[in-house]
Amino acid sequence: MNCPHTAAAPAGRGAGTVVIDPMVQDLDGETARLRDAGVLARIDLLGVPAWTVTRHAEARRLLLDARLVKDIDAWDLWRSGAVTHAWPLIGMIDAGRSMFTVDGAEHRRLRTKTSQALTPRRLEAIRPEIEKFTQELLDALDAAQGDDGVVDLKAVFAQPLPMRVVGMLMGVDESRHAMLTRQYKAFFSMLTPQDERLALLAELDVFYTDLVREKTARPTDDLTSALILAEEGGEPLTEEEVVGNLKAMVAAGHETTIGLVLNAVRALLAHPDQLRKVLAGEVGWDAVIEETLRWDTPTTHLLMRFATEDITVGDEVIRKGEGLVVSYRAIGRDIEQHGADADAFDITRPTRNRHMTFGHGPHICPGAALSRVEAGIALPALFTRFPGLRLAVPDEEITRLPVMTQNDMTAFPVLLG
Residue 251 in the binding site for ligand STR (CB under 6 A) = yes
**Helix (H), strand (E) at residue 90:** none
Per-position x/- string for 295-314, each x denoting binding to ligand STR as judged by CB under 6 A, each - no binding: ----x--x------------
Q: How far is the CB of 109 from ligand STR (least distance, A)?
A: 17
Q: Is 292 in a helix, a strand, or coil? A: helix
Which listed range, 26-34, 90-98, 280-288, 380-388, lies at the site for ligand STR (CB under 6 A)?
Answer: 90-98
Q: How far is the CB of 256 from ligand STR (least distance, A)?
A: 5
Q: How far is the CB of 85 from ligand STR (least distance, A)?
A: 14
Q: How far is the CB of 282 from ligand STR (least distance, A)?
A: 32
Distance in angstroms (rounded) separating the CA atoms of residues 261 and 189:
20
Residues 1-20 that bind ligand STR (CB under 6 A): none
Distance in angstroms (rounded) separating the CA atoms of residues 85 and 12:
34
Nearer to ligand STR, 279 or 368 (CB): 368
Distance in angstroms (rounded) separating the CA atoms of residues 205 and 193:
19
Q: 390 - beta bridge partners?
A: 415
Residue 375 in the binding site for ligand STR (CB under 6 A) = no
Residues 252-281 that bind ligand STR (CB under 6 A): 252, 255-256
Angstrom CA distances, 3 to 39, 52, 54, 192, 257, stand at: 19, 19, 19, 28, 33
- CB-based contact 415:392 (threshold 8 Å): yes
Site for ligand STR (CB under 6 A): which residue of 40, 69, 92, 151? Answer: 92
Distance in angstroms (rounded) separating the CA atoms of residues 305 and 201:
22
With the C-alpha atoms ordered 139, 144, 149, 153, is the resulting torsion angle positive or negative?
Answer: negative
Q: How far is the CB of 340 from ligand STR (least distance, A)?
A: 28
Residue 247 in the binding site for ligand STR (CB under 6 A) = yes
Per-position x/- string for 145-184, each x denoting binding to ligand STR as judged by CB under 6 A, each - no binding: ----------------------------------------
- CB-based contact 300:327 (threshold 8 Å): yes
Residue 207 in the binding site for ligand STR (CB under 6 A) = no
Instruction: List the beta strands (DSSP E) in 250-379.
Output: 302-307, 311-313, 316-318, 323-326
Site for ligand STR (CB under 6 A): which residue of 51, 100, 133, 157? Answer: 100
Q: Is 130 in a helix, a strand, or coil? A: helix
How many chain residues bind ligand STR (CB under 6 A)?
13
* Residues whose CB falls within 8 Å of the CB of residue 117, separated by 6 or more in sequence, listed in order: 169, 223, 226
Q: How far is the CB of 268 from ligand STR (least distance, A)?
A: 23
Residue 107 in the binding site for ligand STR (CB under 6 A) = no
- Which DSSP symbol is given to 362? G
* Residues whose CB falls within 8 Å of the CB of residue 73, separated by 6 or more in sequence, listed in order: 79
Which listed range, 14-22, 88-96, 317-325, 394-402, lies at the site for ligand STR (CB under 6 A)?
Answer: 88-96
Q: How far is the CB of 255 from ligand STR (least distance, A)?
A: 6
Name the CA radius of gyration of the chain, rounded.
21
Judged by the rule CB under 6 A, the positions of this chain that interact with ligand STR are: 91-92, 95, 100, 247-248, 251-252, 255-256, 299, 302, 406
